Amino acid sequence: MSYKHLLNATAALVAVVAVPAAAFAQAAAGPQTQRSAAQATGRATTDAPAASQPQGTAWAVKQATTPGAAPAAGPAMARVTPHGDIVETLRTSGQFTTFLKAADATNLTPVLKGNQNLTVFAPTDAAFAAMPPGELQKLMANPDALQKVVTHHIINARVDSSKIKGAKGPVPSVAGNPIELDGTGEVLKADNADIVQPDVIASNGVLQVVDQVLTPGGMASAAAASGSGQAASATANAPASTTTTTTQTTETRSATPKPR
């Protein structure tokens, strides 16, 4: 499904697009990763990731291709597994209490439970904790601003990772402003956040777990900040221009009149 179709789907906010959900990308990558690792290292990879916290394809490749590498500690975030609808899945995980509290405070919980074919970019509690000091308290005290933040994390259509990979562009959120999706790099991104676990398929939609609270225009702001920093650095490091003024002195000589 193209971004154009997603734009049409979200414009009405009542007509949703049902698309088949793709299987989680890492599930199919396991055997391939083991074969690649065996070819790279000359030995079979018999270690299986722990059932409770799979490490993911990138971790497996790194471990397999690093001679003598000690097993790395599991990720701080526990893997999210589907458990009924979107709200129940988030609640069962135990890592999204702030997002659920915000949804309750803005009367959006019934929407997340009852509406079908939603995509929710769900920030973890750690993502909210990483906000600037005092910012979360200000949001919680301002229901209108809080509702805009929560609805900016929701798309009224199913957008799984297969729709994001290889593409880049804006998709309207329920708040009305766009979420900038970028699938052109190794890590899928939404605004300023990384999608740390894609495609958690709940009964009424898709959860994309993100490591930051989404900021409208986050990608553009980050790029602008980076560009400004580079420009400032270049200006600071540039040698001072030296203007040399050459003063020419003209000597006036009196000419001796020739005798007639």
The one-digit pLDDT tens for each residue of the chain (260 residues) are: 555 455 454 544 433 333 333 332 333 333 333 444 344 444 444 443 333 344 443 444 344 434 444 444 444 789 999 999 999 999 999 999 999 999 999 999 999 999 999 999 999 999 999 999 999 999 999 999 999 999 999 999 999 999 999 999 999 999 999 999 999 999 999 999 999 999 999 999 999 999 999 987 765 544 444 444 444 444 445 444 444 444 444 444 444 445 44
Residues in contact with 11: Cβ distance below 8 Å, sequence separation at least 6, in sequence order: 172
- Chain position carrying tokens 């949804």: 103
Q: Which residues contact 8 (CB under 8 A, 6 or more apart)?
A: none
Neighbours of 28 (CB within 10 A): 11
Q: Hey, what are 257's tokens?
A: 């009149």
The values of phi and psi at residue 73, to 5°, are: -70, 150
What is the distance between the alpha carbons of residues 81 and 161, in angstroms, rounded to a whole number?
Answer: 16
The fold adopted by the segment(s) 1-20+81-226 is FAS1 domain (2.30.180)
